[in-house]
Amino acid sequence: MNKLNFLFITLFGIGKLKKIPGSYASLATTIFLFVLFHILNISPNVVLIGVIIIFFISLYAINIFIKDLDNKDPKEIVIDEFIGQSIPICLYEIAHNGIKETSEVLTFYFIMFILFRIFDITKPYPVNYYDKNFKNSFGVMMDDVCAGLYVVAVLVLYMVISS
């Protein structure tokens, strides 16, 4: 059971990569979601429900993993990057349901990936609040959720200004 939990929170070992595991996890998530939405044609609403379920499972799984650790946010936990990166992509797909040019989709996915990494690394408020004040699975997850919501806010602002 511990091995299964470890595979889950490290996204099947991506978290064990020596350099920038969070960025690799975000990239893998972006590619995975592109395949789900644009090759397998899975409904964005179904995927979003799956992401919400994974969020709640992650809270429990991370608590189990960090229970006896001094560092309550170890780098090998990257399921939070999966959740944070999934939020803007799922909401983009829901808001832009229908046929889109592949080049447009790839451009927005690239922008969402870069913005998420910037917000996740720089941790502007309230991202840093959760990171500093909650030394548990909630803090591990919520800083990435906030970073994902920042990406959504930037994209909404861009769409309002550009229309």
Spans of all domains in the chain: 2-162
State residue 22's pLDDT score.
96
Torsion angle defined by CA atoms of residues 103, 107, 113 and 116, in that order, rounded to the nearest 10 degrees: -150
The per-residue pLDDT for 64 is 93
Q: Hey, what amino acid is at 134?
A: F
State if pTM tops 0.85.
yes
The one-digit pLDDT tens for each residue of the chain (163 residues) are: 789 999 999 999 999 999 999 999 999 999 999 999 999 999 999 999 999 999 999 999 999 999 888 777 789 999 999 999 999 999 999 998 877 899 999 999 999 999 999 999 999 988 888 888 888 899 999 999 999 999 999 999 998 999 8
Read off the tokens for 36.
Answer: 């789900």
Q: Which of 117, 132, 142, 122 is nearest to 62 (CA)?
A: 142
Per-residue confidence (pLDDT) for residue 147, from 0 to 100 = 96
How far apart (Å, rounded) are the C-alpha atoms in residues 1 and 108?
38
pLDDT of amino acid 132: 85
Length of the chain: 163
Helices (H), the chain: 2-9, 21-34, 44-66, 79-95, 102-122, 127-133, 137-162
pLDDT at position 69 is 82
The residue with tokens 């609403």 is 45
**In this predicted structure, what is the pLDDT of residue 97?**
81
**Cβ burial, residue 119 (10 Å; 0-12/13-18/19+):** buried
Q: Roughly how many angstroms between the first and final C-alpha of the chain, as a whole number?
A: 51
Contact between 14 and 25 under an 8 Å Cβ cutoff? The reply is: yes
